[in-house]
Structure 1
């Protein structure tokens, strides 16, 4: 029987440092403990999907006490963005550190869970954590003791190749089999932001279809926009339907919870600017104009690195026209083409800290702050801008970008301003999105809140045409896997 919400809430607070658990997190904990794994976890941006790492650790600590244990002993957390991998790894390390301390403190709310996990392995420790991504040294701690509960965070390439017996890096044939076995048995595979890698989602579905019942194994896809994934799965031959496993979505009583409601209904008022080209210059002008009204944290997201660079140059020029020197502005630039070392330096900087969701909002700086980025910040990045300007893009990307402004719902009315620059075009997903936004704007002020815009934007039979067709089927189908 699942523990009560109060006990779970106390353990969750102590393990994560957050200000309390949501009802949906408690429901997910109870389902995981009972061995019920959803096919998808579809939640709006800003609701804390990464917390599944802590929820899994608590569920495993409970399930081991009541055999047979239906919770997998390992968690493989996969996301197709290195920045997000690093953030998830930091969170996993925090969970491990708090678990280690709680195991020796009988008064800690997590003590019961941590002590159980400590006794589950053959080697010292409570949890093992490892990060698998490029530009990092080979990390093999997670495979040293198969009985030790472990959290493995990595990219699609690094973990996906290991599942298919061909691990990237300096891995010999024996190690490839070992790692494939550990990830393919007694493992909960969580694919975060699955819409970024729909073909890999179909590969995981095919792998799951062939798993033997020797040990619990499940694949759970997560994201705020799951339509591209489910569409590709439905069109991939040979995959069974996910009928026995239901997707995990918010219930009516969970939506009414204050913390969830504030984030879902955070006011984000959208203004459309029609322009054939020069989105970077248009957004730079808008950002400088916004500066005269409020000295907040303003973000701008462009579709290409070249346009982002033009936006930066235009922004500097327009600030100089206002008599503002470069040293008087906190300007952050993030693109996917940056070296890992440079990107890490940016995310650790004081300037970037002004855009973090957990920043101290009681401290008001006189210096304006601007963030210019490409689509690399669309997913997972814990960024909360006061206002946002974006170049028009496909619907799934736009929904993600809107999750980087007023993310926690702390800015009440009049809320945050969002400017979308682009041109209507029936031949591209981005152009069709702009047309759809113009159509919605005819009915009155257009709000981009996470709880309202996705449903309105993707309503109707033409929803698929608004999504980015990243890779069409066939993907890695069961027939191909059989050949392996």
Structure 2
């Protein structure tokens, strides 16, 4: 019997063991009828990554406009990995359905329909690929234009592929292949779209204007869908009354999250301001632990501040304090999460545990705290952080604290959040209420409670992180981008089309203990004996690695690809050498002034610069 939209609920349950939320069923019916709503505006923990399941089911059903290649794109490395894990589970269940006699007929039919699309009897029903900074080349998705695909990627990786550049690609020879596969028969699910406005503008220009300019237009369109808990325009799909009455989703929407506001006033200099912030974060986290909270989250705006808070909490809580940033090596992050999984996801621990993190957990990270301490930020970022508090709605109310760092005279706008940083604090103070006993001001960050207070239009935009805009993508730009062999000189910098202003895309940096810093002529040969692994690389901006190689002091950085301002690399000596790995034959030893986005760099372990947290 042919698949029908009504079969989605059972398909979802066969894959995940639970029924879909009402909004997920509504989305499936819309997509199977041939229409993707955009934007999709749903709060944290509402299950937005289920859009992958919906897209795949629609493809298997043969729905109008269903895309063969599904790209789930988000500018957070940890979230890319979590979305990839979901896609891998889908692929494994579908492969099992083909081979097992015990498989449900519906699941088997979905798998068989996907295999038919490949034109090969022994093909996999679904291929999963991961593209992100710090992750070595995954070119499995390039092998066949017929293969159903779920690709989880950051903006830099898939965006550069769409624009004929392909950061980290093996060779410019496959740049046109990457551009073709990302622009035809493709669906882009852009998660937390509010963080990627320039990318959306460029993507929309290609999908709506330039794709149809081809002399021979290929079948299969290019569909763009925005997903966000804080959409910048009125969503076409959001939670409705059935979702609020759902026994699982309803408590997540209605839970109360009262947050105390703490203003640290002024400080004489940046060092004093930073010290006061770190001390207040640590004090408040320990206070919640003494009140009986067992999972306390601390979220800050800079990697260096996160490390300082972690160090002090670790001195108090010994082995019960975890540091999470996106700037760590995947094998170390995976090891940490495996070690901590029971404490973070299982029954409440007997002793309190602390998780100190950066912006990397703002979107998609499946962490669930029963108390939260956060450095102040823009309103949209705070909403995302509070999505980690009582994420599953287990408690009616969960305590929190938002801390405004001390200001230094003459200090400019925050480099990440701009004028929205102070504007958000003023808005919080205006809408806060005073506690009758303590006289402290507080505001409820619960989903439904906060939604009723939010402004709209331009007033809301002033409270959100500054949005970069992409430059206009002109036909002349496309003519240059389409020239790949040889690449035009000067090189076209596609980062402006992905992030608005000029930023450095990341490089992958790893260390090897068998490299002698004094004998670089042997590095390529030694690395070739054991080629670099994705799991051992840490993703860092180009300018940070350049400063490190030159022996300069480390600069603090936010934990988002392509959003913080990029300091120019300082002039001076070229510094230490590093191996740019491009395979045994093409690798070469370079210095700081030769770094470029997408490179995989190998350094001697004697250089130092990395620990288990990044």
TM range (shorter): 0.7 to 0.9
1:334 to 1:261, Cα distance in 2 relative to 1, 3 A: same
Partner in structure 2 of residue 380 of structure 1: 364
Does the CA-based 8 Å contact 1:41-1:248 persist in structure 2?
A: yes
Q: 1:55-454 residue pairs with structure 2 within 5 A?
A: 55-63=54-62, 69-104=64-99, 105=101, 107-123=104-120, 124-209=123-208, 210-212=210-212, 214-227=219-232, 247-276=236-265, 277=273, 278-316=276-314, 319=316, 326-327=318-319, 330-348=320-338, 350-355=339-344, 359-361=345-347, 364-412=348-396, 415-422=397-404, 428-442=419-433, 446-454=443-451
1:16 aligns with 2:12: no
Count the aligned residue pairs.
445
Q: More deviation in 25-34 or 420-429?
A: 420-429
Offset, 1:63:
1.7
1:460 to 1:116, Cα distance in 2 relative to 1, 3 A: closer
1:474 to 1:89, Cα distance in 2 relative to 1, 3 A: closer
Q: Quote the Cα distance in structure 1 between the aligned partners of 2:359 and 2:115.
A: 41
Q: More deviation in 88-97 or 168-177?
A: 168-177
Partner in structure 2 of residue 241 of structure 1: none
Does the CA-based 8 Å contact 1:84-1:381 persist in structure 2?
A: yes
Q: Quote the Cα distance in structure 2 between the aligned partners of 1:2 and 1:36.
A: 17
Q: Quote the Cα distance in structure 2 between the aligned partners of 1:307 and 1:226.
A: 29
Offset, 1:140:
1.9
1:341 to 1:443, Cα distance in 2 relative to 1, 3 A: same
1:430-458 Cα offsets, whole Å, 9 max, x none, are 22212211221138763211223145243
Q: Quote the Cα distance in structure 2 between the aligned partners of 1:294 and 1:156.
A: 41
Does the CA-based 8 Å contact 2:293-2:371 persist in structure 1?
A: no
Does the CA-based 8 Å contact 1:335-1:376 persist in structure 2?
A: yes
Offset, 1:96:
0.3
1:2 to 1:260, Cα distance in 2 relative to 1, 3 A: farther
Partner in structure 2 of residue 477 of structure 1: 473
Provide the TM-score with structure 1 as the length reference.
0.85
1:267 to 1:156, Cα distance in 2 relative to 1, 3 A: same
1:141 to 1:286, Cα distance in 2 relative to 1, 3 A: same
* Counterpart secondary structure, 1:178: helix
1:451 to 1:477, Cα distance in 2 relative to 1, 3 A: farther
Offset, 1:250:
2.5
Does the CA-based 8 Å contact 1:295-1:367 persist in structure 2?
A: no
Q: Quote the Cα distance in structure 1 between the aligned partners of 2:77 and 2:476.
A: 28
| Structure 2 unaligned blocks of 5 or more | 266-272, 414-418, 436-441, 481-614
Larger Cα-atom Rg: 2
Q: Quote the Cα distance in structure 1 between the aligned partners of 2:115 and 2:40.
A: 29
| Structure 1 unaligned blocks of 5 or more | 232-245
Q: Quote the Cα distance in structure 2 between the aligned partners of 1:480 and 1:430.
A: 38
Q: Quote the Cα distance in structure 1 between the aligned partners of 2:13 and 2:244.
A: 20
Offset, 1:260:
2.4
Q: Quote the Cα distance in structure 2 between the aligned partners of 1:387 and 1:201.
A: 34
